[in-house]
Structure 1
Amino acid sequence: MKTNFGSVTEAVRMLENGGVVLVPTETVVGLVSTEAGLQKIYNLKGRDADKPVALLCRSTEEAFSLSDEAPNIARSLASRFWPGSLTMILKARHGNVNVGLRVPLGTVRGLLEAYGAPLYATSANVSGEEAPRALGGLREASSKVRTWC
């Protein structure tokens, strides 16, 4: 298994082809994908299909554009904690559901910028197990997952 592509270009290509990318975030090691790769994330993690996955965004404006409304408290929290590790749960723009939104720091931010749109993200662990805090803390990953760091 190739564990480091060494380029954001290859990670973007994987995402564009419906792949899942393993990437460090400011909180834990994460799995990111587009909507096309979301089912792969659920399968890799053994995650309950009813459990939503948050979206990482490039900016506060992009995050709030995905919500039905951004209350003043959400705007205040965003100005203080974004970019950063805060995930806000807001009413989604489409449908009668909520969406988790975050504007991250670090390595994953570069991937978001290069990809040019929000990405679904969750921790890179089997559901119910502890989330890895560093790439070195991962057990052998599936050959379907590629790492960019």
Structure 2
Amino acid sequence: MPESPKNLRVNPVHPAPHIIHKAGKILTDNGIVIFPAQCLYGMAANALNPVAVEKVFQIKQRSADNPVLILIKTPKILPSLVKQIPDPARQLMNRFWPGKLTLIFEAADHISPRLTAGTGKIGVRLPGHPVARALVNALDFPITGTSANISGDPGCTRTQDLAPAIMSQADLILDAGLLQGGKGSSIVDVTVSPPIVLRQGAVSSLALFNTIQ
């Protein structure tokens, strides 16, 4: 995609600080940023601001019964986002974070029901992609980690494949080139004992179970 004030090329390994700063300011102002989440491009918004979260649902045309996971910069902020952190969750975080593992926790009361889809549970991940890591590290709040696509459509590994509606409504697009695609994150519900693997993705069920035994 040609570079413009709205579409910025970003080094996928060493993103320029001024680009991350610009993206961070947009997110702080409740804007929408398209960024390389890991395998696919993601849609970032301030996960703690209802106005920003609502923009994500409107742009994606996402139904209210579909939750949205959040990305954090450090596990240290988890106590402000979830009700408890069970021991198996700590074991999984220690081994697989940052990386392709999403953990489902009981959401703190202040977390938007839009993010939890009314379930009271929230998906959380510590991103591994250098651009995503730089982005969350520059912010004092978690961001949404949903894919940058219209709900029901395939995710995008290139910014030029983004739906026109997403390109036009996003405030900034960080173009890191072609992403690897492949398996998404594995999802584990740690609100139950023993934890349940809801989706086997990049991390195998065997590796997950061996970690918490």
- Taking only aligned residues, the RMSD between alpha carbons, in angstroms, comes to 2.0
Gaps of 5+ in 2: 11-18, 111-118, 176-213
Amino acid corresponding to residue 142 of structure 1 in structure 2: M
Listed one character per residue, the Cα deviations across residues 66-102 of structure 1 (whole Å, up to 9, x for unaligned) are: 1111111111111111001211111112277101111
Listed one character per residue, the Cα deviations across residues 9-53 of structure 1 (whole Å, up to 9, x for unaligned) are: 211121122111000012210000012311111111110023221
- Identity of matched residues, %: 30
User: Aligned pair 1:43/2:58, yes or no?
Assistant: yes
CA–CA distance in 1 between the matches of 2:26 and 2:9? 10
User: Aligned pair 1:27/2:51, yes or no?
Assistant: no
Residue 84 of structure 2 is matched in structure 1 by 69
Q: Which among 3, 8, 12 is matched to residue 7 of structure 2?
A: 3
Structure ID, larger Rg: 2
Segment drifting more, 92-101 vs 14-23:
92-101
Equivalent residues of 1:22, 1:31 under 8 A apart: yes
Q: Which among 110, 119, 124 is matched to residue 148 of structure 2?
A: 124
Segment drifting more, 54-63 vs 39-48:
54-63
Equivalent residues of 1:27, 1:85 under 8 A apart: no
Equivalent residues of 1:19, 1:37 under 8 A apart: yes
What is the aligned residue count? 149
Secondary structure of 1:4's aligned partner = strand
1:5 Cα deviation from its structure 2 partner: 7.3
> TM-score with structure 1 length normalisation?
0.89
Gaps of 5+ in 1: none
CA–CA distance in 1 between the matches of 2:143 and 2:99? 16
CA–CA distance in 2 between the matches of 1:39 and 1:125? 15
Secondary structure of 2:42's aligned partner = strand
CA–CA distance in 2 between the matches of 1:75 and 1:87? 13
CA–CA distance in 1 between the matches of 2:168 and 2:76? 35
Residue 52 of structure 1 is matched in structure 2 by 67
